[in-house]
Amino acid sequence: MASSAVSSPTSSIKQRRYRFATEVVTVDNPDDPHNAASVPIYQSATFKQVGAGGGGDYDYSRSGNPTRTQLENHLAKIMNAKRAYAVSSGMSALDVISRLVQSGDEIIAGDDLYGGTNRLLSYLAKTQNIKTHHVDTTKAESVLPYLDPVKTKLVLLETPTNPLIKICDISAIAKHVHEKCPEALVVVDNTMMSPYLQCTLDLGADIEYHSGTKYLAGHHDLMAGVIGTRSEAIADRIYYVINATGCGLGPFDSWLLLRGVKTLAVRMDRQQSNAIQVVDFLEQCGFKVNYPGSRKHPQYELHKRMSSGPGAVLSFETGDIGLSERIVEAAKLWSISVSFGCVNSLISMPCRMSHASIPAHVRAERAFPEDLIRLCVGIEDVEDLLDDLKQAIRSAGAMPEHLDV
């Protein structure tokens, strides 16, 4: 395959034959000459050609690499996509998607986005004259006033958002967008749910992307981004940008991601059941908890309709910044860390850490509580997680007496 090719070496994508947890551990590798049980790492920049005119499936790893192709075929299968691409990080995935938009075009996006996403959108506004309208996507109609059949090229959604856990109705928004702006693409960052819990392409998205660094990898040992679509035409445009800019995932990280993703279902099942118990405890303590699996969540029914589970990221408010700081600092098993999706449990204060890059006045406008604590629940024994939370809350002075046994 020549480096100037417009499509990737991705071969035929297998349709799902089994349930998710089975498909995710079943990696087809039919072309391996030695029948290797694990896809090998093709740690090679170049591939020898059969003749002066080329002729091999691969020629240069920026354009295509067999380890990456196997990973991409596997990801396409589990995302219910026609084609998927693996790139160097989640931000790199959004960078690739954003290159489908030109100067003077417009983007509509949520108002509670991942911090890095905000940073890239501000950069596009400043340097490329690409304006983003931020709207409250919890109300599908809020996109309507900004939909312009000429200018709108991208509608960028996250659901649930992180860390405020707001939910948007992907199907309803996609319907509005596709009716009014046939050329605009609905793009969903599905990192918080993973392909196991939510298939946004089934719900009407044109492109779904992930930070593969989170649940897909699952062990905080690599950075990756994943982009999936059902449209061959969109896939060709995405592949063109990846090859042109050179952000395809390297062979070793492709191998690590393919290895990590096999346990996605079993990790997520455990993380989610731990999270449900943690939420139950925090609600008993009287804290205001944000979690899509909590019946008190205003969009509980909507999330339930779109997904097969609430996931393992939650946040809660203590009512006092100092108290939140003391709880976070007293936790021992929960490590203070940004990110989520790892097998280990993490605790953080988004305003001080992952979301500190959003200016304080913007956080205030978006009703982003400064005392918010985010928990990303791992696969540890839930009794240990609860014990550690209890001692942290007790030592911070916030344990209700009736629970303090």
Ligand X SMILES: *Cc1c(COP(=O)(O)O)cnc(C)c1O
Which residues contact ligand X (rule: CB under 6 A)?
A: 89-91, 114, 116-117, 158, 162, 189, 191-192, 211, 213-214, 223, 225
Say if strands 152-158 and 185-189 run parallel, antiparallel, or are unpaired: parallel
The whole-angstrom separation of Cα 95 and Cα 391 is 43
Nearer to ligand X by Cβ, of 147 and 358: the residue is: 358
Other Cβ atoms closer than 10 A to 4 = 9
The whole-angstrom separation of Cα 96 and Cα 239 is 9
Nearer to ligand X by Cβ, of 211 and 318: the residue is: 211
CB of 90 to ligand X, least distance (A): 2
The whole-angstrom separation of Cα 227 and Cα 29 is 21
159: left (phi over 0), alpha (psi -120 to 50) or beta: beta
Torsion sign (Cα): 244, 245, 249, 251: positive
CB of 371 to ligand X, least distance (A): 21
Pair of tokens at residue 183: 């050329």
Radius of gyration of the chain (CA): 22
Residues 211 and 93: beta-carbon distance below 8 Å: yes
Residues acting as catalytic residues: 62, 114, 189, 214
Nearer to ligand X by Cβ, of 192 and 331: the residue is: 192
Coil, helix or strand for 120? helix
Say if strands 207-211 and 225-229 run parallel, antiparallel, or are unpaired: antiparallel
Q: Is 402 exposed, middle or buried (0-12, 13-18, 19+ CB in 10 A)?
A: exposed
Q: Which amino acid is at 373?
A: I
Phi, psi of 330, deg, nearest 5: -85, -15
CB of 88 to ligand X, least distance (A): 8
Nearer to ligand X by Cβ, of 112 and 371: the residue is: 112
CB of 268 to ligand X, least distance (A): 15
CB of 270 to ligand X, least distance (A): 20
Residues 328 and 347: beta-carbon distance below 8 Å: yes
CB of 135 to ligand X, least distance (A): 18
Cα distances (angstroms) measured from residue 112 to each of 303, 350, 361 = 17, 12, 14
The HSE-up count of residue 192 (CA atoms within 13 Å, CB side) is: 24
CB of 209 to ligand X, least distance (A): 8
CB of 75 to ligand X, least distance (A): 15
Nearer to ligand X by Cβ, of 264 and 398: the residue is: 264
Is the peptide bond prior to 195 cis by the omega test (within 30 degrees of 0)? no
The whole-angstrom separation of Cα 113 and Cα 142 is 16
Nearer to ligand X by Cβ, of 117 and 315: the residue is: 117
Tell me the residue number closest to ligand X, measured at CB: 90
Nearer to ligand X by Cβ, of 67 and 190: the residue is: 190
Nearer to ligand X by Cβ, of 177 and 313: the residue is: 313
Pair of tokens at residue 289: 């908890």
Angle between helix axes 66-79 and 251-261 (nearest 10 degrees) is: 30
